[in-house]
């Protein structure tokens, strides 16, 4: 059974399939809530984050993806301060520890499977924080990576600030963005001002990270010390999501026409694939929408299942998928609300 | 202590226990909210924000008056009183525009 979680602005939907060909739609869970990300606790419990313009953000958990309970002592900024918890954009696991990356930019950790959360002060009180400014999508910490070989090494992406790296389990963090063009320069802090949209790790080499940035597509081979552009074959540099199919090693991006327009180039929704670790890009396979398509795929609305499955959700509520590493694509018939997040929950 | 009813909107019922009306015993509007959080502690963060006050786009009504400040939260209740939590119309537009952007990717 493969289960895909689709988080929308109006709740979470589940797509279930025994053969990844026929899909059954369940939901919505948390009807009316934005569902911004999914995660898994060391205990095996499923986690997801809900958000609302009215009622704020929280983490929900479930053993069976059917009955959910909210975590009462979730990530929270101190009472009386000036920081707001607007959304929870990532829930990641490093060993027995969970990390939650949030907007307004912050990092929290849980050592009890998500029951209680503590701030990661080394990041949250970073010396450059006074210079952090929100991008169009807010001041969001949104992507968290860790080194499978060394759990003390981790990376955190923050828009519109940059990529941070920690070598000591999160005690201290350093910005690592050399080679990336700035899009939001700071007058006061030279090392910030990078609007990173997404980062993806090579599971076999933690020092190789690919990056869809506001300013283009990049790769580092030294853990972020130096980044290089990798845009050969792309029709546009701009975009949000980036994922890697671990079965084939292929990378996927969805280019958009400039940061001003943010639409598929010429109204043609096209997923681009790289089969040479980012050196070059080509339109991925057959079966992508033929009619004009002006919606986009947001940062968290892409996921892979490790077996050739790539799942994308659009702002038009459509779900696009391939199960053969991008050779053939299909669009599911159901149209959901605007999709914010996609995750493989069971495979 | 007066027996009162706290009515909550569908979104809060969704993360509560499904009920949209929760009976509690409380002497004031603020006391009714605290009693509600005693039954459903997960709702506190959805009604109050980091300032300790009612969220900007949440309304707490009692007898037709919005209880936002301390004076109104101290308003006395009597048997049969109803305290209603609503999502304000403002949350989806105007000042909500900034917050709406925060659910878009960067």
pLDDT of A97: 97
The closest of A273, A278, A291 to A327, measured between CA atoms, is: A273
Q: Give the model confidence (pLDDT) of A153-180 as tens digits.
A: 999 999 999 999 999 999 999 999 999 9
pTM: 0.95
pLDDT of A252: 98
Q: Is A86 on the interface with B (CB under 8 A)?
A: yes
pLDDT of B63: 86
- 8 Å CB contact of A298 and B99: no
- 8 Å CB contact of A79 and B50: yes
Computed over every residue of chain A, the mean pLDDT equals 97
Q: In angstroms, rounded to a whole number, what is the distance separating the alpha carbons of residues B68 and B70?
A: 7
Indicate the residue of B14, B104, B105 with minimum beta-carbon distance to A32.
B14
Q: Give the model confidence (pLDDT) of A133-151 as tens digits.
A: 988 888 999 999 999 999 9
pLDDT of B94: 38
- 8 Å CB contact of B99 and A70: no
Computed over every residue of chain B, the mean pLDDT equals 86
**Rounded to 5 degrees, what are φ and ψ at A257?**
-75, 95
- Å between B27 CA and nearest CA of chain A: 25
- Å between A271 CA and nearest CA of chain B: 18
A138: nearest CA partner in chain B: B102
Is residue A292 classed exposed, middle or buried when 0-12, 13-18 and 19+ CB atoms within 10 A define those classes? exposed
Q: In angstroms, rounded to a whole number, what is the distance separating the alpha carbons of residues A168 and A151?
A: 9
pLDDT of A185: 92
Q: Check whether A8 has a pLDDT greater than 50.
A: yes
Q: Give the gyration radius of chain A's Cα atoms.
A: 19
Residue B88 within a domain: yes
Tell me how many residue pairs between chain A and chain B have CB atoms under 8 A apart.
111
Q: Is A340 on the interface with B (CB under 8 A)?
A: yes
Q: Are B66 and B75 in contact (CB under 8 A)?
A: no
Q: Name the β-bridge partners of A210.
A: A200, A219
Residue B46 within a domain: yes
Listed in sequence order, the DSSP H helices in chain A are 121-124, 258-261
Q: In angstroms, rounded to a whole number, what is the distance separating the alpha carbons of residues A115 and A110?
A: 7
Is residue B53 classed exposed, middle or buried when 0-12, 13-18 and 19+ CB atoms within 10 A define those classes? middle
ipTM for the predicted complex comes to 0.92
Q: In angstroms, rounded to a whole number, what is the distance separating the alpha carbons of residues A283 and A143?
A: 25
Give the residue-averaged pLDDT of A244-271.
95
Q: Is A194 on the interface with B (CB under 8 A)?
A: no
Q: Is B38 on the interface with A (CB under 8 A)?
A: no
- 8 Å CB contact of B105 and A300: yes
The closest of A20, A12, A2, A8 to A66, measured between CA atoms, is: A12
Name every residue whose Cβ is closer than 8 Å to that of residue A290 and which is 6 or more positions away in sequence.
Answer: none
The closest of A86, A66, A92, A74 to A5, measured between CA atoms, is: A66
What is the pairing mode between strands A34-40 and A58-62?
Answer: unpaired
Q: Give the model confidence (pLDDT) of A72-92 as tens digits.
A: 999 999 999 899 999 999 999
- Residues 51..80 of B with a Cβ closer than 8 Å to A: which? 51-52, 55, 57-58
Indicate the residue of A51, A76, A136 with minimum beta-carbon distance to B101.
A136
Under the banding of pLDDT at 50, 70 and 90, the label for residue B104 is low
Task: Specify the DSSP class assigned to residue A78.
Answer: P
Mean pLDDT lowest among A17-21, A226-230, A321-325, B61-65: B61-65
Residue B85 within a domain: yes
Q: Give the model confidence (pLDDT) of A298-327 as tens digits.
A: 999 999 999 999 999 999 999 999 999 999
Under the banding of pLDDT at 50, 70 and 90, the label for residue B92 is low
pLDDT of A320: 98
B18: nearest CA partner in chain A: A30
Number of domains in chain B: 1
* CB < 8 Å to A56, chain B: 45-46, 49, 55
Under the banding of pLDDT at 50, 70 and 90, the label for residue B70 is low
Give the residue-averaged pLDDT of A215-230.
98
Residue B106 within a domain: no
What is the pairing mode between strands A97-103 and A106-110?
Answer: antiparallel
User: How do the domains of chain A map onto residue ranges?
Assistant: 2-245+334-346
- Record: fold of A2-245+334-346: Methylamine Dehydrogenase; Chain H (2.130.10)
Q: Check whether A250 has a pLDDT greater than 50.
A: yes
Q: Check whether B93 has a pLDDT greater than 50.
A: no
Indicate the residue of A51, A196, A240 with minimum beta-carbon distance to B103.
A51
Examine residue A160 and say whether the peptide bond preceding it is cis (omega within 30 degrees of 0).
yes
Indicate the residue of B52, B57, B105 with minimum beta-carbon distance to A137.
B105
> Looking up tokens 């919505």, which residue turns up?
A28
Q: Check whether B97 has a pLDDT greater than 90.
A: no
Q: In angstroms, rounded to a whole number, what is the distance separating the alpha carbons of residues A52 and A126?
A: 28
* CB < 8 Å to A78, chain B: 50
Q: Check whether B50 has a pLDDT greater than 90.
A: yes
Q: Check whether A34 has a pLDDT greater than 60.
A: yes
pLDDT of B95: 35
Q: Is A290 on the interface with B (CB under 8 A)?
A: no
Q: Is A81 on the interface with B (CB under 8 A)?
A: yes
What CATH number corresponds to the domain at position B56?
3.10.20.30
Is residue A15 classed exposed, middle or buried when 0-12, 13-18 and 19+ CB atoms within 10 A define those classes? buried
Q: In angstroms, rounded to a whole number, what is the distance separating the alpha carbons of residues A219 and A173?
A: 20
Q: Check whether A66 has a pLDDT greater than 80.
A: yes
- Å between A159 CA and nearest CA of chain B: 6
Q: Check whether B71 has a pLDDT greater than 90.
A: no
Indicate the residue of A36, A72, A195 with minimum beta-carbon distance to B103.
A36
Task: Specify the DSSP class assigned to residue A135.
Answer: B
pLDDT of B101: 45
Task: Count Cβ atoms below 10 Å from residue A9 Cβ, excluding itself.
Answer: 22
Q: In angstroms, rounded to a whole number, what is the distance separating the alpha carbons of residues A85 and A101?
A: 10
pLDDT of B88: 83
pLDDT of B98: 42
Q: Name the β-bridge partners of A286.
A: A328
The closest of A258, A259, A264, A248 to A312, measured between CA atoms, is: A264
Give the residue-averaged pLDDT of A57-75.
97
């Amino acid at each position: 059974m493969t289960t895909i979680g689709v988080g929308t602005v109006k709740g979470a939907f589940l797509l279930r399939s025994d053969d990844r060909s026929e899909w059954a739609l369940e939901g919505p869970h948390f009807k009316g809530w934005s569902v911004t990300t999914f995660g898994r606790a060391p205990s095996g419990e499923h986690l997801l984050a809900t958000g609302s313009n009215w009622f704020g953000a929280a983490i929900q958990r479930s053993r069976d993806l059917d009955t959910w309970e909210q975590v009462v002592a979730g990530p929270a900024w101190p009472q009386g301060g000036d920081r707001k918890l607007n959304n929870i954009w990532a829930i990641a696991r490093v060993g027995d520890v969970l990390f939650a990356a949030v907007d307004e930019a912050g990092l929290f950790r849980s050592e009890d499977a998500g029951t209680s959360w503590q701030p990661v002060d080394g990041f949250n009180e970073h010396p450059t924080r006074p210079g952090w400014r929100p991008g169009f999508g807010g001041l969001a910490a949104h992507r968290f990576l860790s080194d499978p070989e060394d759990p003390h090494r981790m990376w955190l992406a923050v828009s519109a600030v940059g990529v941070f790296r920690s070598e000591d389990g999160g005690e201290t963090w350093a910005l690592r963005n050399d080679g990336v063009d700035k899009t939001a320069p700071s007058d006061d802090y030279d090392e910030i001002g990078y609007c990173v949209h997404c980062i993806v790790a090579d599971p076999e080499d933690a020092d190789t990270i690919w990056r869809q940035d506001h300013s283009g597509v990049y790769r580092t081979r030294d853990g972020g010390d130096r980044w290089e552009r990798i845009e050969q074959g792309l029709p546009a540099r701009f975009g949000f999501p980036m994922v890697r199919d671990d079965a084939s090693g292929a990378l996927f991006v969805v280019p958009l026409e400039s940061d001003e327009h943010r639409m598929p180039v010429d109204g043609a929704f096209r997923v681009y694939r790289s089969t040479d670790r980012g050196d070059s890009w080509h339109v991925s396979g057959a079966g992508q929408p033929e009619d004009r398509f002006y919606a986009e795929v947001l940062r968290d609305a892409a996921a892979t299942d490790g077996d050739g499955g790539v799942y994308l959700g659009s702002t038009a509520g459509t779900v696009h998928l391939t199960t053969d590493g991008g050779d053939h694509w299909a669009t599911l018939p159901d149209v959901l609300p605007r999709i914010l997040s996609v995750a493989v929950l069971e495979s | 202590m007066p027996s009162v009813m706290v009515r909550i909107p569908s979104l809060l019922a969704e993360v509560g226990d499904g009920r949209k009306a929760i009976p509690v015993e409380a002497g004031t509007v603020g006391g009714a909210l605290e009693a509600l959080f005693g039954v459903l502690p997960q709702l506190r963060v959805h009604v109050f924000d980091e300032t300790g006050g009612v969220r900007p786009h949440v309304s707490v009504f009692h007898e037709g008056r919005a209880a936002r400040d301390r004076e109104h939260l101290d308003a006395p209740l009597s048997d049969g009183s109803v305290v209603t939590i609503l999502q304000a119309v403002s949350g989806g537009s105007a000042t909500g525009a900034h917050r709406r952007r925060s659910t878009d990717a960067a």
